[in-house]
Chains A and B, each alone.
Chain A
C-alpha cells in the first residue's frame, strides 16, 4: 500500500495506521465512542494481508492482558477503549510499565465519572499523566488534535514505546475520534520478522530457541533492595524521556500578552477564539502540549514570565491547570475554563472566560 489521501474518522484512521505501521496485534472490546477502531480492523481483515492479529476480547481486562502477553513476546501490540474501559485496563497498564514492555493504548475519552456520557471529554488527564494504575510509573501520553495526528501518533507511539520499553498512550477525545477529516495515510511498512524481533528485543519471551539465556517477563521482586533498584531504573527511563521527548506546538506566542494552554480538539476551538481576539486587537497566544507526559514544563515556565496571565481550557473541571501552575510557579496568574459532561465550548465562551477570569479588556 502506498501513501494515500482519504477522508475518514479519527477512529478509522487509527485502524488504518496500525495496519500500515506493521502492528502485530490489536486486542479490544467495544465501547462508544471508539468502536470504529475494532470495526474498521475487522472490515480490513489485516490477518489476510500483513498477518496482523485482531481479536475482540471478552473484556477490557482481558484485552489489556492480551496486550501484555503479546508485548512480552516482543510484538507491536495495541488496544483501544474509552474512559470506563480504560479504567478497567489500569491494572494491566501498571504491569506493562513495571515489566518494561512496549505497547500502545488509545483512550478516546468520554464524559465521566462512572458510566457518564458518550460525548467528548478530557477528564482522564489525571489518570493518563499521573499514573492511573498502582505504583510509581508514567506513560508517554500523546494528545492528538486532528485526524492526521491520530494517524501519525500510532507510529510515533509505537516507536517511542519500543525505544524506551514502556507503554505509550494516545489520549484523544471523542471529537477527534468521531470527526472526519482529510488524512494522509502512510505507506505500508512490513511487519518485523520473528528473527528481527529476536534481534531487536533480546528480552522477548518467544521460547528460548537458540538463545543462550532464557527470558522471564515479570514485575514481581520480593527483595525490597532489588525492588528499589527496579524503581530507580524505571525513574531513570522516565528522566530520559522527559529530557528528550517533550513535544508541543506554539501559536502567536512571539508577541503574546496572554497565553492559552489547551490540548487536543479544544486547542482548535481556542485557535479560532485567538484569531477573533487578535482581530479585535488583543495579543493572545497559545501553547498546545502534544506530549501531556512529558509535559512542556520548561517552555510554559518561560512563557509564564512573558505574559500577564494564562488560561487553561479543558473539557474537565481543571486538571492540566495543575501542571501549568507547577510550571510557572506563581510567576503569573493561571486560571481555568472548562466544560464538563460532554459539552464543548464555542470560541466566544473562551473569549468571555479570558475577559472574566484574567480581567482582560477587549
Chain B
C-alpha cells in the first residue's frame, strides 16, 4: 500500500474529535482529564447529540472544561453542579445535561447536591473524576484521599484519627432508588479507555431515555499532586487506588423490555 493510499480519508482510523477544541489545555501532562474530555467529545459526536448537550463544569481542575469541548456549558459554583443540572434538565427536557466533577467538588462541598439530585432520579449524567486530591488548589487532601497518603494538608500522611476515612461515594449513590447506572472506570490503558467510553455512552443513553441518574466514576491520576511521573502514577493508582475503589459496575438497571 502506498502512502497516498494510506492517507485517503476512508482509511482514517483515528483522529482528533471535532468537538475537542484545537487549543492547548491547562492540564498537566499525564493527567486523566484530557482522556476523559476526548471520550466525551467523541461520544457526543458519534451519538449525534452535541447540539442538545449542556455540560455543567465544576470548580477544580476541570473548571475550564468549557474551553475544550465545543458545546454549550454552564460553569457552576463549587459543588453545585448537580443542582444546576437539575434545573437545566427539568426546564429543557430535550437537552442532554451532564455534570463533570472532581472528588472535592462532588464528594466534599457538593455531597448534598450530588446525593439529592441522584435520589430524585434527575435525568442527568454525573461524570466523577476521582484522583484523591485537590489538584487546582495545589494538592490538598480530598475526601477520597487514601489513608497514609501525603498531601499539602496531610504532609505526614492521612490519618483516620485526624482526618477521617477515605470516602467511597459511588456505592452510596448506587444505593439510591433514583440512580439507574453507577459504574467505576479508569483510563490508564487502551482497554480501560474503551470500557470507560462504553460506560459514558451507556450513561448518555440513559439520560436521553429519561431512565434516571447515571454516575460514571473515573478513578484517575494526578501525577503533579501525587508527585510521581505519569507512568509511576498509573502504577501507583493500580496498586493503591483500585483496592479502595475497585473498578466495575456498582449498579446497572437494565431497561424494561
Contact = CB atoms under 8 A, between A and B. Distances in A.
A64 to B, nearest CB: 8
Contacts of A69: 56, 74, 76, 83-88
B75 interface: yes
Contact of B92 (A206, A210, A217): A206
Contacts of B80: 61-62, 65, 68, 92
Contacts of B83: 57, 61-63, 65-66, 68-69
Nearest to A204: B72
A53 interface: yes
B84 A72 contact: yes
A345 to B, nearest CB: 39
A65 B110 CA distance: 11
The listed residue with most A CB atoms (<10 A of its CB), out of B70, B74, B76, B83, is B83
Contacts of A194: 92
Interface residues of A, number: 39
A65 B51 contact: no
Given A62-B112, A205-B54, A208-B50, A216 B88 contact: no
A25 B116 CA distance: 18
A234 interface: no
A57 B85 CA distance: 13
Contacts of A207: 51-54, 71-72, 92, 94-96
B249 interface: no
A61 B96 CA distance: 24
A70 interface: yes
Contact of A66 (B70, B75, B86): B86
Given A207-B92, A214-B73, 5 more contacts: A66-B86, A68-B77, A73-B92, A92-B77, A216-B66
A91 B66 CA distance: 21
B72 A205 contact: yes
A218 B73 CA distance: 8
Interface string B46-61: 0000111110110000
A121 B84 CA distance: 31
B52 A25 contact: no
A70 B77 contact: no
Given A207-B54, A208-B50, A208-B71, A95 B91 contact: no
Contact of B87 (A66, A208, A210, A214): A66
Contacts of A306: none
Given A65-B84, A69-B85, A205 B76 contact: no
A170 B112 CA distance: 28
A25 B90 contact: yes
27 contacts: A25-B91, A57-B83, A58-B116, A61-B113, A62-B112, A65-B113, A68-B76, A69-B76, A69-B83, A73-B92, A99-B75, A205-B54, A205-B88, A206-B54, A206-B72, A207-B54, A207-B92, A207-B94, A208-B72, A209-B52, A214-B72, A216-B66, A216-B72, A217-B73, A217-B75, A218-B74, A220-B63
The listed residue with most B CB atoms (<10 A of its CB), out of A27, A57, A77, is A57
A55 interface: yes
A79 B230 CA distance: 46
Interface string A39-79: 00000000000000101011101110111111011010100
B106 to A, nearest CB: 14
B224 to A, nearest CB: 18
Interface string B196-214: 0000000000000000000
A205 B51 contact: no
B75 A53 contact: no
B88 A70 contact: yes
Given A69-B85, A70-B87, A215 B77 contact: no
Interface string A269-301: 000000000000000000000000000000000
Nearest to A67: B87
Contacts of A68: 74, 76-77, 80, 83-84, 87
Contacts of B94: 207
Nearest to A99: B75
Nearest to B84: A69
Nearest to A51: B91
Interface string A108-128: 000000000000000000000
B73 A205 contact: yes
A70 B83 CA distance: 10
Contacts of A173: none
A25 B86 CA distance: 11
B66 to A, nearest CB: 5
A95 B92 CA distance: 21
A95 B80 CA distance: 11
A358 B68 CA distance: 64
